[in-house]
């Protein structure tokens, strides 16, 4: 771990401007991912801005019938909230499918969205990685790729986004609200928060320097049956090979977002038009243009089969 | 004490203490955090500095240059040791690759430096500043590519690379029912909780190492050899070990680097190997490719059985002896086994829980299931028809005890085997395809010389000292039970001290030989102490009873402690073995039963029930034995379903080198586990009449799962681990 300076922010604007004023500052909240990465010198911030004192720990109704989730609401609290469980079951189930009880107690809503890939080559500082060291190359391509992306990847990076929660947020059409160094706030649809890797896999989100997530808003409830199905080699505490988050209405229409297959939560609205026609049709549209490796090609049929099981379950 | 005739009745047979389900005597120390592990001897060396290991970034080649200048000027830095400044180092008898690499590099993450600083964080930060330029060389990292070039390794004793009996090729060719199948097992990691850790302190040229090690005498010798010290100048202390599984049988880099770091820093140094280094720096269970051929008559009798195994290792490394069990487990007049070894530049392959049999049984017991199906026989019936009470290679050599068929029959009844649908893919429970599988369990029983010292004080308290280790197995407890039984005292009158090189040399912990041999060594020492007590108290009769803290003969009864009223009595002895293992084959047997479900849509596999039935001689403590067996069953589930060191075949390293990437079963993966121990004593094994159990528990488990997966789905997977991607394309429509 490299030496770093540390401050506690007392307002979102101050936090944002403190971050913008330095070349290599990071916000820290739960620290469940950042601290691990700092110990391994994968992340080497020179300055940490602790945002834990900013409040942002409430879940409040919005005027249009949705819920605003403070950026610092811990994953455990969010998953257990009665309104979330009743009206946004998908989110609660996705949260509980991720990590462990201890980690969820510490991890925050914003931090979960911003967690970094678990690509093993990203974690091994002996290996080239365009995410860790832009321009150095990608050791995963041509290497061990069973866990890696099958769609939306690039010649520079085939990493996946590891979050379960983000899959639910994507299916729910959440909106991320931020504070910027100039004091302004902006709303970012969750669909636009995460980037595909392209030539710049080190840029994982569309947040600008110093921009701080302050809350995530869920739109008014959408009804339907909420199912989060996470497929993994062992029964708990493992990242998804594939996960399917779906909201399915009585008439067979609905939404679906998929995890474990791309650099961001994967949702193709056009594919959802096929939902009444079954999993095969949806998967075909959803995975159009996929370019898996030999080791992870199974994820394509796994998405289809898992979605099929979800649709069957929804019919109940 | 020489053990060269079968055991007769002895004080152990009283079973007043031995054979009882006794909780671990050191348990409260562990559950309250008072058991001192290698990294925690704060009171012995409060001034200890911290060492952090730098691992090689390449798998094969040379260090072209090292630049330590930035690291040396980092805050808190005390010393940096590399091969260049460490002085001349030897290599331990039990090591394949050097523990401090450079300039030549033998494998990925081989240690190339240890950075010593005032704090752990400073050492870690400075280690990142060590700049190493490498000249990489081309290496061989792919076992399947190296298979054809694999050589016949040198034999060791009775374990020769090639064995043949009768005419295997002829008998196999003419067998009416045949199986010729190839199976693979991956590289696996011990992945124990406590990392390799050591703390070193020098006084002049005398070294004390607090470490975490299974084999104190081996490692003391290898420390001396590596550092060029006389053996008597090395003291190893390792009373508590947070898991080993064979990973801590040997001297490893943590101990060498702590010693070198302490010498350079001129103060005590401690080193805990960082988790991401453990998988490539240390040893692992090597991958195998196994070809099995079985020929049988339509009567279900095996006429030909052949087993070949290919594995890889570094130069001077040994093969994984995956054919061991096939020489002994089933009858058949025509037999062959062969081991071949490919030179690979991956990290060192070596022992992991049940080396040989664990991966061997993973393959053989699928083959037996496949063969039973071809014969139209129930897999238990097929095994029963090929049972043998003699060593099939040497029919005049009986097994000392062999209750394989009993294990299978009793298990079948307890598990409800008759409810299994022999036709695969037919049992459905909601979204789950449900299947049952069975496999034999087999592991040899090994006899090793083992010593102990027993002391008696005036309060009648008995203290046992031996360099035996407790790697979480229960050694403390069964040794205390042995001494209590022998000396006629309650357990709380016995103190057990383990894991210190100043104590008599024991068998150590490995190869499931620890329990039987170490307690037999304690037995031998206690026999001597009993004689000394009798003499001191003036008993002349041969009929002396040691019971309830009293020594009695005829009408005379004297408190045991009185023998030590004039000063402590001490006796030391070892158990040594004669030829009983040559005249009788000593093995342990069992049967593993598994029921599991396979998700019809995703092919996720989840275990529902497990049962192990074991026949392994006298069970010294059913509670600690059960813990060993259910732990081994859990490890078998890992081997079947998820454990695999993923090899990057371009760059030559295990990619998933942490506990996030190398998945082992967690609580949610392990269902109810049941164990049954058959009532058995084996007078050929030792005065304890016990045998090993800890490795029997893993042998066959993975195959039982594989067979259950087949029963559930009709899909036969011959490549471990059996992950859902290997099933998915063959699954029925959900």
The 3 state secondary structure assigned to B85-111 is: CCCCCCCCCCCCCCCCCCCEECCCCCE
Residue with tokens 């898992």: A306
Q: Name every chain A residue with its beta carbon within 8 A of the beta carbon of B645.
A: none
Q: Which of A35, A46, A145, A305 to mutate to test the interface with B (most CBs of B within 10 A)?
A: A305
Q: Which of B50, B601, B635, B647 to mutate to test the interface with A (most CBs of A within 10 A)?
A: B601
Q: Please give the average per-residue pLDDT across B639-651, as a whole number.
A: 98
CA angle B646, B272, B126 (to 5 degrees): 95
B606:A235 CB<8 A: yes
Cβ(B691)–Cβ(B617) under 8 Å? yes
**What confidence score (pLDDT) does residue B434 get?**
98
B124:A118 CB<8 A: no
**What confidence score (pLDDT) does residue A5 get?**
96
What is the pLDDT confidence band of residue B173, given thresholds at 50, 70 and 90? very high
Q: Which of A1, A98, A124 to mutate to test the interface with B (most CBs of B within 10 A)?
A: A124
Q: Please give the average per-residue pLDDT across B447-472, as a whole number.
A: 98
User: How many angstroms separate the CA of residue B251 from the nearest CA in chain A?
Assistant: 26
Residues from B in contact with A at Cβ < 8 Å: 57-58, 75, 121, 124-125, 128, 276, 431, 599-602, 604, 606, 641-642, 646-648, 650-651, 655-658, 660-661, 663, 665-669, 721, 723-725, 728-729, 731, 734
Q: Please give the average per-residue pLDDT across A212-226, as a whole number.
A: 96
What is the pLDDT confidence band of residue B719, given thresholds at 50, 70 and 90? very high
**What confidence score (pLDDT) does residue B156 get?**
80
Q: Which of B655, B667, B732 to mutate to test the interface with A (most CBs of A within 10 A)?
A: B655
* Confidence check: pLDDT of A1 > 80: no
A146:B431 CB<8 A: no
- Among chain B residues, CA nearest to A127: B57
- CA trace torsion A136, A141, A142, A145 (10° rounding): 130
User: How many angstroms separate the CA of residue A185 from the nearest CA in chain B?
Assistant: 37
Nearest by CB to residue B641, choosing from A39, A233, A236, is A233
Helices and strands in chain B, H and E counts: 16, 30
Nearest by CB to residue A306, choosing from B601, B660, B661, is B601
User: How many angstroms separate the CA of residue A120 from the nearest CA in chain B?
Assistant: 6
Q: Name every chain A residue with its beta carbon within 8 A of the beta carbon of B723.
A: 233
Cβ(B361)–Cβ(B439) under 8 Å? yes
* Confidence check: pLDDT of A49 > 90: yes
Q: Please give the average per-residue pLDDT across A181-189, as a whole number.
A: 95
User: How many angstroms separate the CA of residue B43 from the nearest CA in chain A?
Assistant: 28
**What confidence score (pLDDT) does residue B64 get?**
98
User: How many angstroms separate the CA of residue A165 from the nearest CA in chain B?
Assistant: 19
B729:A298 CB<8 A: yes
**What confidence score (pLDDT) does residue B10 get?**
98
What ipTM was assigned to the predicted interfaces of this complex? 0.97
- Among chain A residues, CA nearest to B661: A120
- Among chain A residues, CA nearest to B646: A144
Single pTM value for the model: 0.98
B663:A238 CB<8 A: yes
- Per-residue H/E/C for chain A: CCCCEEEECCCHHHHHHHHHCCCCEEEECCCCCHHHHHHCCCCCCCEEEECHHHCCCCEEECCCCCEEEECCCEHHHHHHCHHHHHHCHHHHHHHHCCCCHHHHHHCEHHHHHCCCCCCHHHHCCCCCECCCCCCCCECCCCCCCCCCCCCCCCCCCCCCCCCCHHHHHHHCCCEEEEECCCCCEEEEEHHHHECCCCCCCCCCECCCCCCEEEEEEECCCCCCEEEEEEECCCCCCCCCCEEEEEEECCCCCEEEEEECCCCCCECCHHHHCCHHHCHHHHHHHHCCCCCCCCCCCHHHHHHHHHHHHHHHHHHC
- Per-residue H/E/C for B382-397: HHHHCCCCECCCCCCC
b vs e for B511-532, b when ≥16 Cβ sit within 10 Å of the residue's Cβ? bbbbbbbbbbbbbbbbbbbbeb
Cβ(A26)–Cβ(A49) under 8 Å? yes
| pLDDT tens, position by position, B95-151 | 999 999 999 999 999 999 999 999 999 999 999 999 999 999 999 999 999 999 999
**What confidence score (pLDDT) does residue B389 get?**
98
Nearest by CB to residue A305, choosing from B58, B276, B602, is B602
User: How many angstroms separate the CA of residue A153 from the nearest CA in chain B?
Assistant: 20
B734:A312 CB<8 A: yes
* Confidence check: pLDDT of A2 > 90: no
**What confidence score (pLDDT) does residue B522 get?**
98
- Mean pLDDT score of chain B, rounded to an integer? 97
Q: Please give the average per-residue pLDDT across A183-204, as a whole number.
A: 97
Report CA torsion sign: B414, B415, B417, B420: positive
Tokens for A248, please give them.
């399915």
- CA trace torsion A215, A231, A39, A157 (10° rounding): -90
B728:A120 CB<8 A: no
A120:B656 CB<8 A: yes
Taking each helix axis from N to C terminus, what angle separates A279-286 and A298-315, rounded to the nearest 10 degrees? 140
What is the pLDDT confidence band of residue B159, given thresholds at 50, 70 and 90? confident
* Confidence check: pLDDT of B734 > 80: no
B656:A144 CB<8 A: yes
**What confidence score (pLDDT) does residue B45 get?**
84
Q: Does A1 touch chain B (CB under 8 A)?
A: yes
* Confidence check: pLDDT of A29 > 80: yes
Cβ(A81)–Cβ(A57) under 8 Å? no
**What confidence score (pLDDT) does residue A79 get?**
98
**Distance (Å, whole) CA B213 – CA B223:** 12
- Among chain B residues, CA nearest to A128: B57
- Among chain B residues, CA nearest to A237: B666
**What confidence score (pLDDT) does residue A23 get?**
86
**Distance (Å, whole) CA B234 – CA B407:** 46
| pLDDT tens, position by position, A241-268 | 999 999 999 999 999 999 999 999 999 9
Count of pairs with CB atoms under 8 A, one residue in A, one in B: 99
How many CB atoms lie under 10 A from the CB of residue B145? 13
**What confidence score (pLDDT) does residue B146 get?**
94
* Confidence check: pLDDT of A86 > 80: yes
What is the pLDDT confidence band of residue A87, given thresholds at 50, 70 and 90? very high
User: How many angstroms separate the CA of residue A71 from the nearest CA in chain B?
Assistant: 26
Q: Which of A125, A233, A294, A306 to mutate to test the interface with B (most CBs of B within 10 A)?
A: A233
What is the pLDDT confidence band of residue B683, given thresholds at 50, 70 and 90? very high
**Distance (Å, whole) CA B470 – CA B519:** 12
> pLDDT > 70: what percent of chain B?
100
B365 contacts: CB under 8 Å, gap ≥ 6:
B439, B440, B700, B703, B704, B707
B724:A241 CB<8 A: yes
**Distance (Å, whole) CA A65 – CA A63:** 6
Cβ(B78)–Cβ(B265) under 8 Å? yes
* Confidence check: pLDDT of B541 > 90: no
Q: Name every chain B residue with its beta carbon within 8 A of the beta carbon of A315.
A: none
What is the pLDDT confidence band of residue B35, given thresholds at 50, 70 and 90? very high
B54 contacts: CB under 8 Å, gap ≥ 6:
B111, B112, B113, B114, B115, B127, B130, B132
Q: Name every chain B residue with its beta carbon within 8 A of the beta carbon of A238.
A: 663
Active-site annotation of B, residues? 695
């Amino acid at each position: 771990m490299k030496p770093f300076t540390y401050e506690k922010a007392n307002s979102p604007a101050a936090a944002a401007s403190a971050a913008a004023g330095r070349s290599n500052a990071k916000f820290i909240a739960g620290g469940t991912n950042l601290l691990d990465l700092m110990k391994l010198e994968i992340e080497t911030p020179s300055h940490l801005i602790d945002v834990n004192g900013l409040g942002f720990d409430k879940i409040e109704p919005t005027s249009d019938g949705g819920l605003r989730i403070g950026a610092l609401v811990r994953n455990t609290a969010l998953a257990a909230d009665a309104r979330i469980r009743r009206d946004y079951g998908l989110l609660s189930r996705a949260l509980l499918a991720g990590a462990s009880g201890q980690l969820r107690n510490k991890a925050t809503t914003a931090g979960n969205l911003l967690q970094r890939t678990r690509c093993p080559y990203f974690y091994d500082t002996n290996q080239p990685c365009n995410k860790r060291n832009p321009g150095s190359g990608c050791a995963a391509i041509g290497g061990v790729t069973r866990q890696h992306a099958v769609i939306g990847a690039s010649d520079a990076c085939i990493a996946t986004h590891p979050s379960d929660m983000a899959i639910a947020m994507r299916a729910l059409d959440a909106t991320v609200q931020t504070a910027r160094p100039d004091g302004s706030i902006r709303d970012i649809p969750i669909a636009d928060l995460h980037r595909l890797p392209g030539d710049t896999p080190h840029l994982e989100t569309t947040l600008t320097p110093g921009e701080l997530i302050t809350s995530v808003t869920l739109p008014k409830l959408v009804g339907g049956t909420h199912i989060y199905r996470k497929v993994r080699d062992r029964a708990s505490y493992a990242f998804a090979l594939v996960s399917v988050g779906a909201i399915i209405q009585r008439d067979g229409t609905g939404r679906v977002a998929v995890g474990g297959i791309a650099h961001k939560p994967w949702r193709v609205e056009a594919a959802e038009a096929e939902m009444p026609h079954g999993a095969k049709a949806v998967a075909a549209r959803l995975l159009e243009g996929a370019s898996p490796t030999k080791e992870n090609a199974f994820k394509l049929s796994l998405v289809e089969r898992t979605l099929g099981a979800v649709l069957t379950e929804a019919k109940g | 004490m020489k053990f060269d005739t079968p055991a007769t009745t002895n004080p152990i047979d009283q079973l007043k203490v031995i054979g009882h389900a006794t909780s671990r005597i050191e348990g409260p120390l562990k559950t309250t955090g008072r058991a001192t592990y290698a990294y925690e001897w704060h009171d012995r060396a409060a001034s200890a500095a911290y060492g952090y290991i730098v691992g090689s970034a390449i798998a094969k080649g040379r260090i072209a240059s090292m630049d330590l200048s930035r690291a040396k000027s980092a805050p808190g830095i005390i010393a940096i040791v590399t091969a260049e400044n460490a002085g001349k180092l030897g290599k331990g008898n039990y090591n394949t690759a050097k523990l401090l690499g450079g300039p030549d590099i033998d494998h990925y993450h081989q240690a190339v430096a240890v950075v010593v600083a005032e704090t752990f964080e400073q050492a870690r930060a400075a280690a990142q500043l060590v700049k190493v330029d490498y000249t990489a060389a081309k290496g061989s990292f792919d076992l399947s590519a190296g298979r054809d070039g694999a050589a016949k390794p040198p034999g060791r004793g009775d374990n020769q690379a090639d064995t043949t009996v009768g005419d295997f090729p002829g008998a196999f060719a003419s067998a009416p029912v045949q199986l010729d199948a190839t199976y693979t097992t991956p590289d696996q990691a011990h992945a124990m909780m406590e990392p390799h850790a050591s703390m070193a302190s020098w006084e002049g040229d005398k070294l004390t190492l607090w470490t975490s090690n299974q084999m104190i005498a081996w490692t003391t010798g290898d420390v001396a050899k590596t550092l060029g010290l006389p053996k008597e100048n090395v003291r190893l202390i390792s009373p508590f070990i947070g898991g080993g599984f064979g990973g801590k049988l040997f001297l490893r880099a943590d101990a060498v680097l702590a010693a070198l770091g302490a010498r350079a820093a001129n103060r005590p140094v401690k080193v805990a190997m960082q988790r991401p280094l453990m998988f490539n720096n240390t040893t692992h269970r090597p991958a195998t490719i196994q070809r099995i051929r079985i020929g049988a008559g339509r009567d279900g009798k095996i006429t030909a059985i052949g087993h070949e195994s290919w594995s890889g290792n570094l130069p001077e490394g040994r093969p994984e002896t995956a054919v061991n069990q096939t020489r002994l487990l089933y009858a058949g007049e025509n037999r062959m086994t062969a081991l071949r070894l490919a030179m690979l530049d991956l990290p060192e392959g070596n022992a992991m829980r049940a080396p040989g049999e664990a991966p061997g049984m993973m393959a053989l017991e699928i083959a037996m299931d496949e063969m039973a199906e071809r014969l139209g026989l129930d897999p238990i019936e097929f095994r029963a028809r090929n049972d043998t009470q003699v060593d099939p290679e040497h029919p005049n050599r009986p097994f000392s005890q062999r209750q394989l068929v009993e294990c299978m029959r009793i298990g079948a009844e307890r598990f409800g085997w008759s409810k299994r649908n022999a036709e695969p893919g037919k049992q459905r429970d909601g979204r789950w395809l449900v299947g049952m599988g069975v496999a034999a369990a087999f592991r040899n029983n090994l006899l090793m010389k083992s010593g102990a010292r027993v002391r008696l004080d005036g309060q009648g308290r008995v203290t046992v000292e031996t360099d035996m280790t407790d790697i979480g197995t229960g050694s403390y407890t069964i040794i205390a039970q042995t001494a209590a039984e022998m000396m006629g005292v309650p357990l709380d009158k016995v103190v057990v001290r383990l894991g210190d090189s100043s104590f008599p040399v024991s068998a150590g912990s490995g190869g499931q030989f620890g329990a039987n041999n170490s307690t037999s060594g304690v037995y031998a020492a206690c026999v001597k102490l009993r004689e000394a007590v009798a003499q001191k108290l003036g008993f002349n009769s041969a009929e002396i009873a040691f019971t309830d803290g009293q020594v009695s003969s005829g009408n005379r009864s004297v408190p045991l402690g009185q023998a030590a009223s004039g000063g402590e009595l001490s006796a030391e002895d070892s158990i040594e073995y004669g030829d009983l293992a040559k005249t009788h084959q000593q093995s342990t047997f069992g049967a593993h039963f598994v029921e599991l479900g396979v998700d019809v849509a995703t092919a996720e596999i989840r275990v529902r029930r497990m049962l192990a039935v074991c026949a392994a001689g006298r069970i010294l403590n059913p509670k600690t034995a059960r813990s060993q067996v259910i732990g081994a069953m859990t490890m078998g589930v890992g081997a079947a379903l998820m454990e695999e060191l993923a090899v990057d075949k371009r760059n030559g390293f295990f990619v998933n080198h942490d506990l996030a990437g190398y998945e082992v079963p967690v609580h949610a993966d392990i269902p109810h586990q049941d164990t049954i121990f058959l009532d058995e004593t084996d007078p050929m094994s030792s005065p304890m009449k016990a045998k090993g159990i800890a490795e029997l528990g893993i042998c066959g488990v993975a195959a039982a799962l594989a067979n259950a997966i087949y029963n559930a789905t009709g899909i036969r997977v011959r490549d471990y681990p059996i992950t859902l991607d290997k099933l998915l394309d063959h699954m029925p429509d959900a």
